[in-house]
Structure 1
Amino acid sequence: MPVGRSGKKKSQAPFFSQQFFIENHADIVSCVCMVICVGMMFQVSQPFSSMFVAAQYNITTNITEGEDKPPETLYLLGARDGFTVFFYTLIWITLHAVLHEYIWEKWCRRLHLSKTKTTEFYDSGQLAVYYLLSTIIGATVLQRRECFSSLSLLWRDYPDIPISFIEKMYYINQIAYWMHWFPELYLMKAKRHEIKDKVVFYTLSLAFILTHYSFSYIRLGIFFLTVHHLVECLNYTVQVLELAGKQQSAQPLHSAWSVVFVVARIATMTVAAAAFLFGLPKVDGNNLEVGFETGNFNIPVVRFPLFAAIIGISLYHTWDFVMFQINIRQDALEQKESMEKERQRQREKKKNRRDQDARRRKKEEEEETKASNESSTVGQSSPRKREGRK
């Protein structure tokens, strides 16, 4: 069964049509990836296929001089990385379709959501998985570099080239992931009013990653992305649970997200200030020539715009977070007031009902008293009538 977007299909779309490509795009893309991988098995096509599959610009260096350890393969940056990004963009398109078809779509069918909430559910689910994987891998890279024990290692050895294999593939996959969202707008048949905001979001995310990768701010970029992705992982997980109607499970995660968000923003702005304003101007690599060949872009023209962008993004997210919390408080107060008014109405209804019952009982008692008085009057007059007759 082809992996598509529409679930059960009523009729097969014509070959080479737009609908046929959308319904079977995952199979088509996976076949392209398979052909590229098969090319690695033959000597003739191996150089061409390796440009797409393998990490480019590898060099072998012995970074542990004087120790009996094998040399480590490190990597430089270059234009041929675009071929690798293209291949892994195809991989992400296939993974996106698999997750959509076999997890999110099956789950969404049980929820009976509206079209708007269904789209939000799909996007939140995909982003939650991506942010979770990115956080785990980013934390692993930083742990291997021992950056958690000393944050100065994030900028001390700038420029951060050559880089290890996991750092190289981390950035390749980050770039490929955000690249794959642009064709997904077409494949998911996104509505016109949704496209603009999504394109801006994808473009800004891609620009942030490309800037740190191209200018050799490798470890700083991984740190900023890992911290941000941890926050977003919690955020989108909460959204998925809330849309799925699991409010009890979402509430603890929402509280954890609020705490982690504040800590993450403080950590991001603190590290950005320490790195771009105080740490990087004092590193030993400043005597290198500025350019892509050396990977040195430790100049004020690059540092200050990067610092301003990070602070601006952090302040924007903070403002959005504060307004979100204010709206939650206002909604909670409005809900409390509405519930209090509803309770007041219920109390008034009960009071009116009790008054009505009391008036009814009083009326009934009066009628019974009146009836008993009339019956007693009739009982007293009847003996007198009998005596008169005698």
Structure 2
Amino acid sequence: MAFRRRNKSYPFFSQEFLIQNHADIVFSLVIFILIGLMFETTAKTAILFIQPQYNISTMSADGEVTLYLYGWKDCATVLFYLCITIILHAVVQEYVLDKVNRRLHLSKSKNTKFNESGQLCVFYLVSSLWSLYVIATEGYLLHPSSLWENYPHVHLRYIHTQTQSMHLMKTEEIPRQLQYISLYLLHILAAYLLNLTRVGLVLLFLQYLSEMGFHLSRLFYFIDENHHKMFEMWSIGFVLTRMITLTLMFLAVGFGLARSENQTLDLEVGNFNTLSIRLLVLFVVCFTQSWLLWKFFRFQLSRTRELRLEQVARKRVAAKQQMQRTLKRDSVGYYENGLIKAENGTSPRLKKIKAP
């Protein structure tokens, strides 16, 4: 199965070869794992890549509920779903974005940004819908207190969300986005390891909505450069997302978990509800949100300054052109009935010229 037409072949196992054929290589690996499920001797190993292993079955009012703890075997599950995401990335690029690029005829730099925003827009859309489905089915919207009650929290679908978020390393330019990749992984793994999956899921949903708005605005801008209002709407949503994130973290971690009866460190149970850990979590979140707001306002101020300089430059050019027209009229004169006359009217001779 080939995802892309190749005009040039590279030596095997070279960097160019791996970049060009990474989707086919990953697809072959996934097929190899799925074939392993068909044989009894390899099924136990193959199932490690597909299904989380640390499950706990509990009884509730709705029946038996299966929850999941975490362990080192989850690395295989994360790797498998990361491969699935890479395959979907190649499918979207080949059958959607490349066809749109052929019609838009964008420059090379805009083409790269368009592909980046297109990939991330699809990723954030799917992740937002998935997160919203989990939040609605688990009742986090109607019962916000469930975000900190019955701590520690574990859930299967947060693992899937984590594996998709790690695919940011494939879709972004790593040198330019290394800071954001590190922040994503830091916060996701912290919520995963500290069993704060409910709060982490809600925060990821808010972050995905904000990021989707930005990349969607950039897509519309590349299609038609007159679309600027969507960036203004995204700016408002970005600030609101930061405020809601801080409020939710202080409500859940600062007040909710602080009132919990069990505030002792227990690694076996997965209880990390201690004062020092809560303060550390709040500090990291506050620092990250403050840093994002600082970069946002700095960019907006620099952008406003650039727009003002452009307006001043346009006014200077317009004034200079108007002055040149005035000087030309004063020195040459003006036309009247096909005759050129001096501006002061002192010239007694009128020269017949061809009307312009």
TM range (shorter): 0.7 to 0.9
CA distance in 1, matches of 2:37, 2:58: 25
Give 1:261 deviation, angstroms. Answer: 1.3
Question: Is 1:131 the equivalent of 2:124?
Answer: yes
CA distance in 1, matches of 2:200, 2:47: 27
Amino acid aligned to 2:276:
V
CA distance in 2, matches of 1:140, 1:349: 65
Question: Is 1:174 the equivalent of 2:161?
Answer: yes
How do 1:239-258 and structure 2 match up within 5 A?
A: 239-242=218-221, 244-248=222-226, 250-258=227-235
Give the match for residue 354 of structure 2: none
Give 1:245 deviation, angstroms. Answer: 4.1
Amino acid aligned to 1:28:
I
CA distance in 2, matches of 1:73, 1:178: 24
CA distance in 1, matches of 2:307, 2:16: 45
> In terms of mean alpha carbon deviation, does 82-91 or 229-238 score higher?
229-238
Give 1:222 deviation, angstroms. Answer: 1.0
TM-score (norm 2): 0.86
- Gap change, CA 1:181 and 1:263, over 3 Å in 2: closer
Question: Is 1:220 the equivalent of 2:220?
Answer: no
CA distance in 2, matches of 1:238, 1:219: 29
Secondary structure of 1:366's aligned partner: coil
Query: How many residue pairs end up in the alignment?
Result: 344
Secondary structure of 2:349's aligned partner: helix
Give the match for residue 366 of structure 1: 348
Give 1:37 deviation, angstroms. Answer: 1.6
Give 1:282 deviation, angstroms. Answer: 0.7
Match of 1:61 among 58, 61, 64: 58
Gaps of at least 5 residues in structure 2 are 352-356
Give the match for residue 387 of structure 1: none
CA distance in 2, matches of 1:270, 1:195: 31
CA distance in 2, matches of 1:286, 1:300: 8
Amino acid aligned to 1:338:
A
Give the match for residue 295 of structure 1: 270
Question: Is 1:263 the equivalent of 2:263?
Answer: no
Deviations 1:102-123 (A, max 9, x none): 3333333444545444433332
Give 1:178 deviation, angstroms. Answer: 4.3
Give 1:28 deviation, angstroms. Answer: 1.8
Secondary structure of 2:70's aligned partner: coil
CA distance in 1, matches of 2:346, 2:81: 86
The answer as to whether partners of 1:157 and 1:285 remain within 8 angstroms in 2 is: no
Deviations 1:143-171 (A, max 9, x none): 2232223433211221113x3xxxx23x3
Give 1:18 deviation, angstroms. Answer: 4.2
Match of 1:96 among 56, 68, 89: 89
CA distance in 1, matches of 2:235, 2:168: 28
Give the match for residue 44 of structure 1: 41
- Gap change, CA 1:200 and 1:321, over 3 Å in 2: closer
CA distance in 2, matches of 1:259, 1:234: 11
Quote the sequence identity (%): 31
Give the match for residue 298 of structure 2: 323
Give 1:139 deviation, angstroms. Answer: 2.1
Give 1:230 deviation, angstroms. Answer: 1.1
Give 1:51 deviation, angstroms. Answer: 0.8
Amino acid aligned to 2:3:
V
CA distance in 2, matches of 1:139, 1:90: 24
Gaps of at least 5 residues in structure 1 are 370-390
- Gap change, CA 1:346 and 1:281, over 3 Å in 2: same
- Gap change, CA 1:177 and 1:298, over 3 Å in 2: same
Secondary structure of 1:60's aligned partner: strand
Deviations 1:219-257 (A, max 9, x none): 111111111221111112222333x24233x42321211
Amino acid aligned to 2:139:
E
Structure with a larger share of its residues in helix: 1
Amino acid aligned to 1:358:
Y
- Gap change, CA 1:95 and 1:138, over 3 Å in 2: same
Higher relative contact order by CA 8 Å / sep ≥ 6: 1 or 2? 1
Match of 2:179 among 200, 207, 220: 200
> In terms of mean alpha carbon deviation, does 214-223 or 350-359 score higher?
350-359
CA distance in 2, matches of 1:18, 1:278: 51
The answer as to whether partners of 2:117 and 2:216 remain within 8 angstroms in 1 is: yes
CA distance in 1, matches of 2:303, 2:138: 40
- Gap change, CA 1:364 and 1:103, over 3 Å in 2: farther
Question: Is 1:21 the equivalent of 2:12?
Answer: no
The answer as to whether partners of 1:234 and 1:257 remain within 8 angstroms in 2 is: yes
CA distance in 2, matches of 1:195, 1:14: 25
Q: Larger Cα Rg: Structure 1 or Structure 2?
A: 1
Give 1:205 deviation, angstroms. Answer: 1.0
Give the match for residue 3 of structure 2: 3
Question: Is 1:33 the equivalent of 2:30?
Answer: yes
Cα root mean square deviation, aligned: 2.7
How do 1:81-120 and structure 2 match up within 5 A?
A: 81-120=74-113
Secondary structure of 1:55's aligned partner: coil
Deviations 1:182-203 (A, max 9, x none): 5x48xxxx9xxx6444333322
